[in-house]
Structure 1
Amino acid sequence: MSSEKFESLEDDLSAILDDVKTKERKITGSSGEERKNAIRQAERKLEEAALVLQEMEGEAKLAPVSFRTQMLSKIRHYQSDIEQSSRSLKREGTSGGRGTDNYAFDREDRLDQSNRAKLMQGHQSLQRASESIARSHQIAAETDQIGVEIIDELGTQRDTLLRTKDKLSDTDANLSRSRKILKNMARRMMTNKLILAVIILVELAILAGLVYWKFFS
């Protein structure tokens, strides 16, 4: 079973129903005031059992699908036991053993039923509030998970951007070195051209000197 709380509630419900069975046997063998007290006590136990059963239904709704079917089957079984005991108590209440205080018993019974109805309504409201809180907790957990995933994704993107920035910095540094090399090569080419021009001028001057010395001297 997937829910420890469901198992604990099931144990409580079994104990309550066993107590109801014991009181039913006591009702059968009693009369008068003792009989009325036993009936009231058994009815209160059935109310308690109904409240526990509602809590079990709430646990079953929140359980995984693989366990929910088994839980609901047990709930239907206990519901049948509660209804059977309730019918038995009604038969005992409408049968003999009331005596001259029939009206007082009916009045107390109506008051008990009114109090039971109010108690059931209060418990149902509490159960709905508990289920709403459980759903809110589940939504909050899912939201936290989404937030963690977004933060992880942003961290990954940040690392990617930092690596890209480092690569751009390296590329810029390489371009700067390339520009310096090209400038140095251009400077050397200009220097070589100037040297070559000077050499040519010197050779022309020497050639002119030789021609002048040979033909005009």
Structure 2
Amino acid sequence: MSEVFEGYERQYCEVSASLSRKCTAASALDGEKKKQKLNEIQSGVEEAESLIRKMDLEARSLQPSLKAGLLAKLREYKSDLNNLKSELKRISAPNARQATREELLESGMADTLTASTDQRGRLMMTTERLNQSSDKIKESRRTMLETEELGVSILQDLHQQRQSLLHAHTTLHGVDDNIGKSKKILAAMSKRMDRNKWIIGGIIATLVLAILLILYFKLTH
């Protein structure tokens, strides 16, 4: 069902129930209090008519499969509104109490009142179902918000872990650089050691050759 239609429907059921209570209260009033209550009822009827029009427009804008069911419900709401208007007209009459007694004596009045009571009962049941649906929607939204908060927390944890990994990668990269530099230094030192060995070997060979030459000259002379 259309959420927009459900919203208008919920408002209408609340307005209708309120009008029913006000009509009952107005029947027992007189004078200025009754006039004030009738003005409130008239304002409520106008609000109910506005909601009926909005529901009608919303229902006719939907797909045929949904529109048929909504229009059927709308006919019940229109009938209920007509009954409220009749009730308002009755209690607005100068001799409302006398008119009430006469209307109750007319044929078929009992059936009309019974039908109106049944419609009010259905409206109250519909209001209760709509309230239950609203509670379920609120619960779903609460669960969705909790899930969203959990998702945000997980993303934050993942972001922190990513930062830790990037820091570790940077540290390892620095270690690799230091190891590379150390290798270069060791290689240079190894080359110097090899060169020094050749130099020392050359010096020793020169000294040995010089000693041999000295001994040769001494022995030959």
When normalised by structure 1's length, the TM-score is 0.55
**Equivalent residue, structure 2, for 1:6:** none
Aligned to 2:196: 192
Task: Quote the Cα distance in structure 2 between the aligned partners of 1:124 and 1:15.
Answer: 17
1:173 partnered with 2:204: no
Deviations 1:14-40 (A, max 9, x none): 9997775453345xxxxxxxxxxx9xx
- 2:169 is aligned with 1:144: no
Query: How far apart are 1:167 and its partner, in Å?
Result: 0.8
Equivalences for residues 1-217 of structure 1 within 5 A: 21-25=25-29, 98=101, 101=105, 104-217=108-221
Q: CA deviation at 1:182?
A: 0.6
Give the % identical residues: 26
**1:155 Cα deviation after fit:** 1.5
Q: How many residues align?
A: 140
Please list every run of 5 or more consecutive structure 1 residues that lacks an aligned counterpart in the other structure: 1-11, 27-37, 42-96
Superposed CA RMSD: 3.2
Name the amino acid aligned to 1:101.
L
Letter aligned with residue 109 of structure 1: L
Shift of 1:136: 1.4
* Aligned amino acid, residue 217 of structure 2: W
Structure 1 residues 215 and 134: CA distance shift in structure 2, 3 A: same
* Partners of 1:169 and 1:131 in 2: CA distance: 56
Q: Structure 1: how far apart are the matches of 2:108 and 2:23? A: 26
TM-score, scaled to structure 2: 0.54
Structure 2 unmatched runs, 5+: 1-14, 31-37, 42-99
- Note closer, same or farther for the CA distance 1:21–1:114 as it changes in structure 2 (3 Å cut): closer
* Distance change in 2, residues 1:106/1:19 (3 Å): closer
Separation of aligned partners in 2, 1:175 and 1:129: 68
Worse-superposed segment, 13-22 or 184-193: 13-22
Q: For 2:211 and 2:20, how far apart are their aligned partners in 1?
A: 133
